[in-house]
Amino acid sequence: MAGHWRPLFMRFGRGGKTVATTGGVALALAILPALASAGVWIVLFLATRYASVASLGAAASLPALALLFGASWPVIAFTLGAAVAIVVLHRSNIARLFAGTEHRIELRRPGGGLRRPAASR
């Protein structure tokens, strides 16, 4: 996860926020909690259209889901540490959410959808 956050090939410059890496590792360690957490991500994203809200919610749910599904203590510790890391790395997103300036993803095109070519009208 640290290698995703500060990649060597980028001379330890800024990388990602470890959400995808955590998801991949969670799928390998505890598939049911990981899939349930992915479901949380989808529901939150569709409800809010904020990827950051979905990522934070999925990260927060992962340790509880691991506990609920009976994962081992090392897996629960990993998911808890990963959730904390994700929240820490999303500090700027959280600030933008509170300020109302976070980017919201629109799933529809502006203007109402697909247009037919002029020749077929």
- The reported pTM is 0.78
Instruction: Indicate whether 106 belongs to any domain.
Output: no
CA max distance for the chain? 65
For the chain, what percent of residues have pLDDT higher than 90?
Answer: 62
pLDDT of residue 12: 55
Residue-wise pLDDT tens digits, 44-93: 999 999 999 999 999 999 999 999 999 999 999 999 999 999 999 899 99
Instruction: Indicate whether 49 belongs to any domain.
Output: yes
Instruction: Indicate whether 52 belongs to any domain.
Output: yes
Instruction: Indicate whether 48 belongs to any domain.
Output: yes
**Residue-range definition of the domain harbouring residue 49:** 24-101
Instruction: Indicate whether 2 belongs to any domain.
Output: no
Instruction: Indicate whether 63 belongs to any domain.
Output: yes
Q: What is the DSSP letter of 25?
A: H
**How many angstroms separate the CA atoms of 56 and 45, rounded?**
11
pLDDT for 108 beyond 90: no
Instruction: Indicate whether 9 belongs to any domain.
Output: no
Instruction: Indicate whether 11 belongs to any domain.
Output: no
